[in-house]
Each structure stands twice: as C-alpha cells, then as structure tokens.
C-alpha cells in the first residue's frame, strides 16, 4: 500500500509498526510532525534540504543588498529593502523548521561557513547593473516560486507550513522584479538595453536552479517517494519556461535562446541545451562570486557575535528571574 519504498530501511532496528505508521501517514498525504517517528534517512534528507534552503535565503540577500544604496528612487529603495528583509525572514523560518529535526543553528551555520553545506549556485553570479534587481525578482524569485509552491504540500509539517508564508512573499518579489523590468524595457533605449542585458545573463543560471536533469539527480526518486518532492527537476524547469515565454513577450524582452520554439504536439515550449559544465563549475566553488559571498557571510557572522552574546545573556537573566519568581510563589 505504501508509496515510500524502503522507507524504514535506514533504521534497521525500527519496529515494523513504526515503519508502517510512517508509511501510512505519507501515503495518506498527511503530515509527519517533529515528535513522530521517522526513518533516519528521511530526517537527514530533510536536514540537508532545509539547511541548504535556509542558507540560500540568507546568502541571497547579498547580491541585491549591493544595490540598496544605489536604488534610483525612494520608492525603489523601500521595495528593495523590504525584499531583502523578507529573505532574512525566510532564512529564520527555515532554520527554525530545520531545528525541529534536532539540528542546531550553530551547527548549520558552521557547515555553511566551512563549505560543508551548500546554498543555491544562482547567488554566485554578480549583480552588475540596476536591471539585475529586476531580473533577479522576475527570474530567480520566479524560479523559486515554481520550486516552492509544491513544497507547501511536503510531507514534513514544519517545512510545508514555512513554505506557505515564504511563497506569498516570493510572489511579491517576483512581481516587483517584473514591474521594474517592464519600466526599464519601456524607458529609454539605454534602459531597454540594460534590461535586456540583465535577462541575457540571468536566464540560463535561472534554469539551472531546478537542479540537474532527472537522470542525473541523485536524491530525486527517494524524495518523491517520501513526498518531500512532488515533481521532477525537468518537469518544474519546463513549467517555468512555459510561464516565462509569454511574460518575456509582454515585457518586450527577448529570452537568449535561439532554440526556443512552441511544440504543437507537446503543447509546451522546446528550449536549448543547458551548459551543465558551467553549473558544476559554480557548484565546485569556481563561480564568479563564490569566494566573495562566503567571505562576506563569515564576516557578518563574526561581527554579529556581540549581538548573539547579548541576546543570550538577556535570555539567561530573564530565565533566572522567572525561576526565582516561581520559587517565591
Ligand atoms: Fe526567499
Ligand atoms: Fe525572494
């Protein structure tokens, strides 16, 4: 009856009824909650995925924050500050969701800073012009939404619930990027060219955000069986292309793919080959900004040490005080 083959295989000593209970919850499309029994491999897969997702949110603040001081108007500045702040919030929800699986935030941050856990390779590209803020909103946040909407139905409750709120905010991010690009595209000749150049640079890396092709994706089949993942990488990538083509047309911008054509039979857009060598190079640390992003993150963490110390001292003081009050009662 189960759709989660070998779900309990990682906990060889787990009683059969626990495994059956887990399988039944997954098969019924219900949620696994933190106190429920779960296979070790399910827990470690989620920790890896949620930590990577949280890291992507906070590293993703960097490329755009780079433009806050140079935003062309107060309105644009306010929108961009709100967006970058939202990404910090997404990081918080996600670190919180990962903590429910028994992993500490210090441990996750330590792994990020030492390169033992990853973040999305898209954030290793530079933001060269103001139009990049628009292209990131439209394409990068757009790809994130396509990836994350199905995660709202993920089998792990805290992750699924965090995603509901994240997706609402991502849709504001996507729209502000689209509106920014639309303004530039319909502005002066130079502004149009700047918007086109940004789309030229961000299009292919955005398609890579869906991960390697299905036949090379190491974790996909098991994640789908556990209903962490609902659609394959290639399926989501195709969905994203199909959404973007008419939007690019409405923006008056061209997608940089000469092989893009409507396929009557499939009723989907065919698109050109992705340069997976570039993807693997960036993943290996050889992207244009890998070094810069991690260095900046480590520095921010070190410089924030006094805030964490002060918050911990404050919490300890109040805990001691409420303990004394409880004794007095
Ligand atoms: Fe986000
Ligand atoms: Fe976002």
Query: pLDDT tens digit string along 60-111?
Result: 999 999 999 999 999 999 999 999 999 999 999 999 999 999 999 999 999 9
pTM for the full predicted model: 0.91
Give the range among 17-31, 48-62, 199-213, 313-327 with minimum mean pLDDT.
Answer: 313-327
Distance between Cα 266 and ligand 2 center (Å): 31
Which bound ligand lies closest to the C-alpha atom of 143?
2
Cα–Cα distance, 52 to 75 (Å, whole number): 32
Distance between Cα 219 and ligand 2 center (Å): 25
Cα–Cα distance, 252 to 240 (Å, whole number): 18
Cα–Cα distance, 289 to 73 (Å, whole number): 27
pLDDT band with cut points at 50, 70 and 90 for residue 329: low
Average pLDDT over residues 267-296: 95
Distance between Cα 170 and ligand 1 center (Å): 6
Distance between Cα 2 and ligand 2 center (Å): 35
Per-residue burial over 227-263, b if 16 or more Cβ lie within 10 Å, else e, is bbbbbbbbebbbbbbeebbebbeebebebebeebeee
Give the range among 11-15, 51-55, 143-147, 169-173 with minimum mean pLDDT.
Answer: 11-15
Per-residue burial over 77-110, b if 16 or more Cβ lie within 10 Å, else e, is eebbeebbebbeebbebbbebbbbbebeeeebbe
Distance between Cα 274 and ligand 2 center (Å): 24
Distance between Cα 85 and ligand 1 center (Å): 9
- Over 80: is that where the pLDDT of 9 sits? no
Higher-confidence position of 4 and 174:
174
Place of tokens 């499309």: 29
Which bound ligand lies closest to the C-alpha atom of 91?
1
Torsion of CA 304, 305, 310, 311, to 10 degrees: 70
Cα–Cα distance, 185 to 40 (Å, whole number): 50
- 214-225 pLDDT, tens digit per residue, is 888 777 888 999
Give the per-residue pLDDT at 180: 98
Cα–Cα distance, 139 to 240 (Å, whole number): 9
With contact defined as beta carbons under 8 Å apart, do 270 and 259 qualify?
yes
Distance between Cα 86 and ligand 2 center (Å): 7
């Amino acid at each position: 009856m189960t759709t989660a083959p070998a779900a309990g295989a990682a906990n060889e000593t787990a009683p059969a009824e626990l495994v059956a209970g887990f399988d039944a919850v997954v098969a019924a499309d219900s949620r696994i909650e933190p106190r429920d029994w779960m296979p070790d491999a399910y827990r470690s897969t989620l920790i890896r995925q949620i930590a990577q997702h949280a890291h992507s949110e906070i590293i993703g603040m960097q490329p755009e924050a780079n433009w806050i001081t140079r935003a062309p108007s107060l309105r644009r500045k306010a929108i961009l500050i709100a967006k970058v702040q939202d990404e910090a919030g997404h990081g918080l929800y996600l670190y919180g969701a990962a903590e429910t699986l028994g992993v500490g935030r210090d441990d996750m941050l330590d792994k990020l800073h030492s390169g033992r856990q990853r973040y999305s390779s898209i954030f290793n590209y530079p933001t060269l012009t103001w139009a990049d803020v628009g292209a990131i909103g439209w394409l990068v946040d757009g790809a994130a939404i396509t990836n994350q909407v199905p995660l709202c139905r993920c089998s792990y409750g805290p992750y699924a619930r965090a995603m509901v709120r994240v997706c609402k905010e991502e849709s504001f991010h996507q729209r502000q990027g689209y509106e920014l690009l639309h303004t530039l595209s319909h502005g002066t000749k130079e502004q149009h060219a700047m918007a086109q150049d940004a789309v030229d640079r961000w299009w292919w890396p955005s398609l890579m955000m869906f991960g390697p092709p299905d036949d090379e994706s190491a974790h996909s089949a098991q994640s789908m069986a556990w209903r962490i993942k609902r659609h394959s990488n290639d399926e989501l990538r195709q969905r994203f292309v199909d959404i973007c083509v008419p939007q690019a047309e409405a923006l008056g911008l061209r997608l940089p793919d000469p092989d893009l054509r409507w396929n009557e039979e499939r009723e989907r857009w065919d698109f050109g080959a992705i340069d997976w060598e570039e993807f693997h190079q960036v993943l290996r640390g050889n992207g244009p900004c890998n070094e810069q992003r991690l260095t900046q993150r480590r520095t921010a963490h070190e410089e924030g040490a006094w805030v964490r110390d002060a918050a911990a001292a404050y919490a300890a003081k109040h805990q001691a005080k409420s303990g004394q009050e409880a004794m007095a009662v």
